[in-house]
């Protein structure tokens, strides 16, 4: 019986490893400047965790078998082994702190890196259950907004039309266009609850929090249409909160924006 249980544990380990190495239901191909570094960091973490997981589960199966029920065997009381415990905690701590420090570089590139002057600005405002995108227009300045002006149908982010800077602002719903190979500077906001702006192809995911303007940064290297998902359970229709990122050439982007400005 003990051997059967041990073999079952090892079989589950093998199946889990096969699921990961086979990359079933894996990420879509990445298209961003930071995507490669993100994937490298992700894979490194996965490999380190996998080694720990396999070692622990193989040992678990071994102990299940080694200390199986045998006639005449008596249980022994033990206080444990302080040295082994301290060593395990230290190894785990050092491993994860090191991984976190390595990951900081990638994270800084996505959030805090200085951007060139000509970066394209987009303000993302999440709400239950949609994405609003605002572009500053030719003046490069976002106009003022006010909560009291918010109207879900007519003025979803509450743009104040009395502010001259807001007259050329463009607001779109669930579709965000960006030019390819250009730095995109994001400002992420939420109107109601916590959402999470997730573009799997960019390997970009950031919570949007009411009351905060969270900066973000990416550069898409390939044209096409990609999924934007909400990665935070935000209410009953969370599953419907889907948008599209359209990466296009500079000319196509200018034309797209102009078309929306006239509308
Ligand atoms: Cu959401």
Same domain, 99 and 145: no
In a domain, 143, yes or no: yes
Query: What is the model's pLDDT at position 193?
Result: 95
Please check whether residues 132 and 242 belong to one and the same domain. Answer: yes
Question: Number of helices and strands (H, E) in the chain?
Answer: 4, 10
SS3 of residue 211 by DSSP: coil
Distance 251 CA to ligand 1 centre (A): 32
Cα 59 to ligand 1 centre (Å): 41
Ligand 1 centroid distance, CA of 67 (Å): 49
Q: How many domains does the chain have?
A: 2
| Domain match, 106 and 124 both | no
How remote is the CA of residue 150 from the centroid of ligand 1, in Å?
18
Q: Are 160 and 129 within one domain?
A: yes
Label the pairing between strands 242-248 and 224-230.
antiparallel
Q: Is the confidence at residue 38, as pLDDT, over 70?
A: yes
Let me know if 128 is exposed, middle or buried by CB neighbors in 10 A (0-12, 13-18, 19+).
Answer: middle
How much is the mean pLDDT over the chain?
Answer: 90
Evaluate whether 234 touches 204 at the Cβ level (below 8 Å). no
Does residue 163 sit within a domain? yes
| Residue found by looking up tokens 């609850």 in the block | 193
Query: Domain range spanning residue 133?
Result: 120-262
> Is position 73 within any domain?
no
Say yes or no: 105 and 178 in one domain: no
Q: Are residues 105 and 142 in the same domain?
A: no
Beta bridge partners of 126: 131, 190
Residues 189 and 231 in one domain: yes
Residues 220 and 141 grouped into a single domain: yes
144 and 91 within one domain = no
CA–centroid distance, residue 233 to ligand 1 (Å): 6
| 210 Cα: distance to centroid of ligand 1 (angstroms) | 12
Is the pLDDT at 114 greater than 80? The verdict is: no
pLDDT of residue 48: 92
Say if residue 128 is in the same domain as residue 58: no
In a domain, 75, yes or no: no
- For residue 191, being part of any structural domain is answered with yes
Q: Are residues 87 and 150 in the same domain?
A: no
Helix (H, G, I), strand (E, B) or coil at 71: coil
173 CA → ligand 1 middle, Å: 14
Residues 141 and 188 both lie in one domain:
yes
Chain centre distance of CA 189: 15
- The pLDDT of residue 245 is above 70: yes
**pLDDT for residue 168:** 82
pLDDT of residue 103: 87
Q: Is residue 128 part of a domain?
A: yes
Average of pLDDT values for 49-67? 93
Instruction: Tell me, in angstroms, the distance from the centre of ligand 1 to residue 133's CA.
Output: 14
C-alpha 121 – ligand 1 centre gap (Å): 22
Residue 263 predicted with pLDDT over 70: no
Count of residues making up the chain: 263
What pLDDT was estimated at residue 72? Answer: 85
In a domain, 71, yes or no: no
- Threshold 0.85, pTM exceeds: no
CATH code, domain with 204? 2.60.40.420
Alpha carbon of 130 to ligand 1 centroid (Å): 7
pLDDT digits (tens, 9 = 90+) for 134-166: 999 888 888 888 888 888 878 888 888 888 778
Strands (E), 136-223: 170-173, 175-179, 183-190, 195-199, 204-208, 214-219
Residue 72 counted as domain residue = no
pLDDT tens digits, residue range 161-207? 888 778 788 889 999 999 999 999 999 999 999 999 999 999 999 99
Q: 60 CA to middle of ligand 1, Å? A: 40
Domain stop point among 90, 111, 132: 111
């Amino acid at each position: 019986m003990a051997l059967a249980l041990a073999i079952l544990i090892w079989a589950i380990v093998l199946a889990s490893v096969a699921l990961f190495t086979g990359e079933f239901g894996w990420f879509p191909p990445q298209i961003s400047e930071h995507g490669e570094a993100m994937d490298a960091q992700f894979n490194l973490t996965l490999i380190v965790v996998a080694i720990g997981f396999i070692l622990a589960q193989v040992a678990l199966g071994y102990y299940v078998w080694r200390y199986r029920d045998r006639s005449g065997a008596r249980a022994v009381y033990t206080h444990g082994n302080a040295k082994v415990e301290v060593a395990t905690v230290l190894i785990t701590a050092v491993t994860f702190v090191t991984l976190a420090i390595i990951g900081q570089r990638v994270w800084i590139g996505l959030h805090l890196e200085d951007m060139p002057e000509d970066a394209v600005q987009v303000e993302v405002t999440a709400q239950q259950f949609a994405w609003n995108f605002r572009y500053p227009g030719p003046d490069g300045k976002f106009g003022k907004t006010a909560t009291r002006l918010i109207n879900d149908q007519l003025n979803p982010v509450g743009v104040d039309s009395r502010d001259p800077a807001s007259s050329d602002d463009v607001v779109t719903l669930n579709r965000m266009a960006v030019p390819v190979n250009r730095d995109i500077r994001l400002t992420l906001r939420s109107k109601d609850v916590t959402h999470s702006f997730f573009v799997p192809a960019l390997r970009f995911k950031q919570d949007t929090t009411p009351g905060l303007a969270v900066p973000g940064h990416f550069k898409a290297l390939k044209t096409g249409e990609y999924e934007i998902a909400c990665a935070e359970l935000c209410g009953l229709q969370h599953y419907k909160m889907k948008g599209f990122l359209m990466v296009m050439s500079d000319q196509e982007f200018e034309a797209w924006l102009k078309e929306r400005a006239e509308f």
